[in-house]
């Protein structure tokens, strides 16, 4: 028998922005294979996470995905859903509400964020009491003058890859100290699982560097880009239809439900979606081919492949919940009634 360390990870009940929580369970196994089927539910004190009252505080953690923990010997990262004591989905559980049981929907999320120095409370590259040079030279830059935090970002990428996430890339973003990583998955729930695990690894790594991650969509006011989490999505129809008319019909399905989407796209998103800095206004809805100022961008490669590919919703904020974002996108696409 050998002991393994299982890090049970869940989302708390804080609103409107949930936070990651986790705790470690040490178990003895004779021949652990790293599968969900080998894991049991666990409980936690929901009264400490805005998910239960003190008089009936137990909530349950149901394992839904497991990954090797690259920073621990015999360790595993266990993404869980929060259940009520009777086994029903907790109201904070956005994953359980996703309607994609056949995994027909594929999602690629582009997670932007700012790396903050805990000592100065400023993004990397920002001097105390002032500002670095204006935007323009930071995006995809190289060299110590404009690039800040590369060692940290590279280590995070390695951790994600070693954990088995479908990690697709990294780049420095438009503002100083701002970075992005990309993940792709077939299935909305799996895509959400992987973003949350990647965020967990990112946040945990900051403890080693003396940093913290700022997911606020507009942490630096003024002429600086905000942070989003662009959602690239497709289903069988979008991947195979070969029809501009079909694409436009699906895009139009988003127009009457703008408020419903914005409601789950992240807190403070009005500060980012201004119509400037590569965004559409939060009060408008638009779509266009290769248009990064639109609400939904139709990638040029989709058009070049004969209207077979995907769409990119550019509105979700960096602090949005990928489960809720994916769930709302699926609902809207299905409302177009195209098969």
- Indicate whether 1 pLDDT > 80: no
Q: Pull the structure tokens for residue 226.
A: 């905000």
pLDDT at 56: 84
Q: Bridge partners of 184?
A: 108
User: How far apart are the C-alpha atoms of 104 and 141, rounded to whole Å?
Assistant: 37
pLDDT of residue 55: 82
* 89, burial (CB in 10 Å: exposed 0-12, middle 13-18, buried 19+): middle
Rounded CA gap, 269 and 274, in Å? 9
Report the percent of the chain where pLDDT is more than 90. Answer: 93
Q: Give the pLDDT mean for 154-171.
A: 98
Q: What's residue 321's pLDDT?
A: 98
Q: Provide the pLDDT for residue 229.
A: 98
What integer pLDDT is reported at residue 98 of this predicted model? 97
**Is residue 228's pLDDT more than 90?**
yes
Which residue would you say has higher pLDDT here, 157 or 1?
A: 157
pLDDT band at 231 (very low <50, low <70, confident <90, very high): very high
Domains of the chain: 2-93 (3.10.20.70), 106-335 (3.30.590.10)
254-303 pLDDT per residue, tens: 999 999 999 999 999 999 999 888 899 999 999 999 998 999 999 999 99
Can you tell me the distance from the alpha carbon of 68 to that of 44, in angstroms, rounded to the nearest whole number?
Answer: 22
Q: For the purposes of burial, counting CB atoms within 10 Å of the CB of 284, is it exposed (0-12), middle (13-18) or buried (19 or more)?
A: exposed
- The pLDDT of residue 323 is above 90: yes
Q: Please tell me the pTM assigned to this model.
A: 0.96
């Amino acid at each position: 028998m050998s002991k393994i360390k299982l890090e049970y990870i869940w989302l708390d009940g804080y609103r409107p922005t949930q936070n990651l929580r986790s705790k470690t369970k040490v178990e003895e196994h004779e021949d652990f294979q790293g599968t969900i089927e080998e894991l049991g539910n666990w409980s936690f004190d929901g009264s400490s996470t805005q998910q239960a009252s003190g008089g009936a505080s137990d909530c349950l953690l149901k394992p839904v995905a497991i990954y090797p923990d690259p920073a621990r010997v015999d360790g595993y990262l266990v993404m869980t859903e929060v259940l009520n004591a009777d086994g029903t989905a907790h109201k904070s559980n956005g994953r359980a509400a996703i309607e994609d049981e056949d995994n027909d929907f594929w999602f690629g999320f582009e997670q932007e964020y700012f790396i903050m120095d805990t000592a100065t409370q400023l993004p990397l590259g920002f001097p105390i009491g002032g500002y670095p040079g204006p935007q323009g030279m930071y995006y995809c830059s190289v060299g110590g003058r404009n690039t800040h935090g590369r060692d940290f970002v590279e280590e995070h990428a390695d951790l994600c890859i070693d954990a088995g996430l479908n990690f697709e890339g990294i780049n420095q973003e438009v503002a100083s100290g701002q970075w992005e990583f990309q993940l792709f998955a077939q299935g909305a729930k799996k895509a959400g699982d992987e973003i949350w695990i990647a965020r967990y690894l990112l946040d945990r790594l900051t403890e080693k560097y003396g940093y913290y991650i700022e997911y606020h969509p507009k942490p630096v006011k003024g002429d600086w880009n905000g942070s989003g989490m662009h959602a690239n999505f497709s289903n069988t129809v979008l991947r195979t239809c070969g029809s501009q008319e079909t694409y436009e019909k699906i895009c139009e399905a988003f127009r009457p439900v703008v408020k419903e989407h914005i409601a789950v796209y992240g807190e403070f998103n009005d500060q980012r979606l201004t119509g400037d800095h590569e965004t559409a206004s939060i009060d408008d809805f638009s779509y266009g081919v290769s248009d990064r100022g639109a609400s939904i961008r139709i990638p040029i490669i989709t058009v070049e492949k004969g209207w077979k590919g995907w769409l990119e919703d550019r509105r979700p904020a960096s602090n949005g919940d990928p489960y809720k974002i994916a769930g709302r996108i699926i609902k809207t696409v299905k409302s177009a009634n195209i098969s």
